[in-house]
Each structure stands twice: as structure tokens, then as C-alpha cells.
Amino acid sequence: MSAGLLGDPSLHEADRAAGSGGRRAVRWGAAAVGVAVALGVALRTHSPSPLWLDEAISASISGLPLREVPEALRRDGAPPLYPLLLWGWERVVGDSATQVRWLSALLGVAALPAAAVAGARLAGRAGAVAALLLFATSPFAIYYSSEARMYSLVMLLVLCGFLALDGYLRRPGAARGVLVAVVSAALALTHYWSLLLLTVVGGGLLAFAWRTRSRAPARAAGWMVAGGVFFLPWLPSFLYQFTHTGTPWASPMGWFAALQWMVVVWGGGGGRTTTLVLVTVLLLLAGIGATAVSASGSRVVLDLRGRPPGRALAVVVGATLVLALAVRRFTGAAFDARYTSVVLPLFLLLVAVGLARLPRAIGTPVLAVAVVTGFGSAVPDVYFEYKTQAGLVADALRAQALPGDVVVYCPDQLGPATSRLLPGSLRQEVYPTGGSPERVDWVDYAERNSGADPAAYGRDLSARAGGSAVWLVFHTHYRTYEGQCEALAATLTALRGDPLRLVEPDGVYFESAHLVGWAPLPPPGP
């Protein structure tokens, strides 16, 4: 990035006055920004992998008749806004893996101008450029813009919520208040971690109103609460999900480990050098954004008590994460790095503030490092990391299985991704319920699995398959299934002989599986 893109916006007048050299630098800088943003957009629209579990469930639920979607979501544990948007999208665009991901890509691209406007509100033109480039090249934002889940929508709504709230606080009015309420409701209906963010922001507004004796922040908090009216129709389903679905697939994780995992995923994940460099740069810039008072030459003055507007962003991000970890500890809910999509936009805005506060001679190369390392982490995730082995498993089944053969998935979590790739001539079911593999019923999941009998299921399965082959898609590392898939395979081997092994789990995939098959039973004697 060229000089002139960062620093005090008033310096741009001096750039123009510098003659053709300054204008040339500005043009080259604008071209560099355009190339980076274009590449960020392109990365958001490409993902070669088949849909993995969560994506396949999203596509399956959104493929149902509209009247059946709420009940399917109730048993899935997800809020309704993204699936309903995807429901309409599938009927206009289509339901292939590429087509359903295009919705997230569109939402991810829409977040870029929103980030630029938010950056400008916080730190002028320098903040706008920094925020635009940070979002365009964020490995986290790119990855979830290429996945058919709600996280891209969450990030867009957080930015819209920031702009709506900022607009209301600048010029309070009923129309702006309604906008705050609508965006707040949309967030709550997109991901439940948004409730934590809304709680922190609303509480902060009330505290600020009390301390400054100002009415506008308190009224803004009131508009956020008023948005709860839109959530009320979904409240019974939310309470049912909270009681019965949970996250039985999650492993326990300590506070420090959870935060460490989150930061690494924000930087692109894995053990790449680019991830380490990017994470280090982002954290340092966030600290500067929260505490920098002034900058001149190569000197930056910090106030550890924090300085606005970065201080408020840092408090909201930190308090939301602490609240999430506390809720996880007391309720047993999962902490997954992708859930932090509710605070990543605010964190990147904080980083943009830090960049804008640096002297431009320092800020421009630092931003260039963030851009290059961001792409360095994002490109492997998009082009070389496959999310599921379902494509290989489905290819093997299409080559070997005959019409009428039985395919069983253990656990049922392997069913949605693979079953959508197979012909309808195969009989497919999941262990232990024997139900359809298109979705996972998370209601009282751990209790149901703990009461299953793999030996009895295997005997019944073999008898029902009769003269057809039995194919088992399984893995052994899933929580609540400890030892059961192995026991099911052992039962089928005892009844039908040694299996044919077609696919072995490959660690390069996030979601991998075995595929083994047993020959048909011989016909009964005369």
C-alpha cells in the first residue's frame, strides 16, 4: 500500500499539492487497494469441497416445504433467519454446493462497503481504507463467506448494527431507533451468541447514560430491547432448544485454550508462519487502537486507561468473550471459534483504528504486512483444504453399491454430507435411530446414544438387508458414540464375514470417514 493511504486525513491536501508525484502515489495506492479487494471478493466465491455436516444440514432444512422448516430448526438447535433466507435463495438460485454458498459469498461481499463506512466513522479516510482491506483479506471472513452457514450474515449484521447505533447516537430519531431495533432482532435470530453481544452493548449504553446523564444512549438501549418483540414468536423454540439440544459434540476447553484457539482461527488457523505473523500484527494494532493518544514521526503515545473510540470497541469485544466463556462454564455450552463471528467485525474495526493512529510511514507497511499474511493464510484454506471426505466416500459407493443396498452412517453426523451425493436407489439410514440421513436430530442426543445397543442394531440391520450388501460409513472419534461404531462393525463382520474396505480416514479432511462393506447374505437353502 502506498504512502498517503494512512495517517491524518488532512494530509491528503498536502499530497495533492505535491504535484504529479503525489497524484501518482495516490493512483498507485488506489490500484493496490482495488486489486486486494478484488482478490478478497474472488476468494469468497470459490470453495471446491462438497458441503460438510453443518452446511448439508442447512441446505436440507432450507429444502423443506416452508411450513416444515420451523420444526426442523427446533430439533436442529439453530435460529431461523439464515435458514429462511437460504430457503428463498434455493428456490431462486438452486441448491447445489456452489449455489447455496453463493448466498454467504454475497453477504460477505456486502460486508466490505459496510466495513469501510464504519471505519470512516471511527477514523476518517485512513480508517475506511484500513477497515476495507482488513475485512477483504481476513482469513476468517473469507472462509465463512465460502461456507453455507450463518456466520457471514452475522458479520454483516454486526457492521450494520454498529452503523445503525452510531447513526442513532449522532442524531436520535424514531426512524433510526426502529432501524436499531430491527438489526438487533435480526442478530438475535441469526446466532444465539448475538444475545451476549447485545447484552454487553445494551449494558454499556445504560452505564454511559447514567455516568453522563445523557438520554440518547439509554433510549438506544431501549430500542435494542424493543427489537425483542421480533424475537418473541421464536422464544418457545429457543427455550426448547436450550433445554433439549445443547452441544453434545463439544469437548471441554479451558478459558485460556479457548481464547488461544479463537485468536489462531482469526489469523487463518493451522501452524503457518503467515498465521503467526498476522495474529501478532492484529493484536498489537488492536492494543494501539484501544490506547493510542497521539502519533508523530516514529513516536506513538499510549494511555493504558484507553482512549475513545477504540476503548469502547475493546471493552465490547472483551466483555462479550468473557460473558460467552462464563456462560459456557456454567451451562456446558460449546465454545467454537466460528461463534466469535459476533465480535470479529468489532475487533477488526479496533485494528483499523490502531492503523489510522500510526504515523503513515509506519502504518502503510504494517497494513501491507497484514494484507499479505491475510491472503497467505486464506488462500490455502480456500483452495487446498477440503472440509469433508464425503465426496470420496460417495464416489466409492456409486462405483460399488447396487440398487437396494443398505448404507448406514455411524454416527448420524456423517449422513448429511454423503447422503446428498448418492442416488435414491440406495437405502440409507443412520445408527442408532434408523432414520433418514439428511439431517441430525439433536434433541436429547447424548441420552439417546447412551441407550443404544449396537449388537442388536447390527443383527436387525443384517436381517433387513437380506440379500443386499451392507455399507457402513463410520468414524470412531465422535463424542457420545464411544466404542459403538466399532461394535456395530464387529457384529456385521460376525454375521456376514470380513468386509471390503474401500475408504480410510484421511487427516487432511476436517470431516473424514471409513467406508466398509459386507457382501449379501447367501440365499436360504431348499
**For residue range 192-238, what is the model confidence (pLDDT) as tens digits?**
999 999 999 999 999 999 999 999 999 999 999 999 999 999 999 99
Question: Do 114 and 33 sit in the same domain of this protein?
Answer: yes
Question: Do 360 and 395 sit in the same domain of this protein?
Answer: no
pTM of the model: 0.91
CA nearest to 385, candidates 257, 268, 250: 268
CA nearest to 140, candidates 353, 383, 368, 338: 338
Q: How many domains is the chain partitioned into structurally?
A: 2
| Last residue of one domain, picked from the residues 383, 408, 424 | 383
Question: Do 309 and 329 sit in the same domain of this protein?
Answer: yes
> What CA–CA distance (Å, rounded) separates 397 from 378?
32
Which residues lie below 8 Å from residue 300, measured CB to CB, with a gap of 6+? Answer: 288, 292, 294, 357, 358, 359
Question: Do 415 and 363 sit in the same domain of this protein?
Answer: no
> What CA–CA distance (Å, rounded) separates 164 from 117?
11
> Could you tell me if residue 73 is inside a domain?
yes
> Could you tell me if residue 524 is inside a domain?
no
The domain in which residue 457 lies consists of 390-518
| Last residue of one domain, picked from the residues 333, 356, 383 | 383
Residue 431: how many other CB atoms lie within 10 Å: 25
Question: Do 189 and 261 sit in the same domain of this protein?
Answer: yes
> Could you tell me if residue 526 is inside a domain?
no
Question: Do 112 and 146 sit in the same domain of this protein?
Answer: yes
Angle at the Cα of 283 from the Cα atoms of 279 and 288, rounded to 5 degrees: 150
Question: Do 379 and 399 sit in the same domain of this protein?
Answer: no
| Last residue of one domain, picked from the residues 383, 405, 431 | 383
> Could you tell me if residue 523 is inside a domain?
no
> Could you tell me if residue 375 is inside a domain?
yes
Question: Do 319 and 436 sit in the same domain of this protein?
Answer: no
pLDDT, tens digit only, all 526 positions of the chain: 333 334 434 333 333 444 556 688 788 888 999 999 999 999 998 888 899 999 999 999 999 999 999 999 999 999 999 999 999 999 999 999 999 999 999 999 999 999 999 999 999 999 999 999 999 999 999 999 999 999 999 999 999 999 999 999 999 999 999 999 999 999 999 999 999 999 999 999 999 999 999 999 999 999 999 999 999 999 999 999 999 987 776 666 677 777 777 888 888 877 788 999 999 999 999 999 998 776 665 667 777 777 889 999 999 999 999 999 888 877 767 778 899 999 999 999 999 999 999 988 888 999 999 999 999 999 888 776 678 999 999 999 999 999 999 999 999 999 999 999 999 999 999 999 999 999 999 999 999 999 999 999 999 999 999 899 999 999 998 999 999 999 999 999 999 999 999 999 998 898 999 999 999 988 765 5
Question: Do 375 and 421 sit in the same domain of this protein?
Answer: no
Classify each residue of 257-280 as buried b or exposed e, where b means 16 or more C-beta atoms within 10 Å of its C-beta: ebbebbbbbbbbbeebebbbbbbe
Question: Do 421 and 369 sit in the same domain of this protein?
Answer: no
pLDDT of residue 269: 77
> Could you tell me if residue 123 is inside a domain?
yes
> What CA–CA distance (Å, rounded) separates 2 from 262?
31
Question: Do 162 and 193 sit in the same domain of this protein?
Answer: yes
Which residues lie below 8 Å from residue 412, measured CB to CB, with a gap of 6+? Answer: 430, 431, 433, 435, 437, 440, 441
Question: Residue 167: what residue type?
Answer: G
> Could you tell me if residue 15 is inside a domain?
yes
pLDDT of residue 8: 39
Question: Do 184 and 226 sit in the same domain of this protein?
Answer: yes
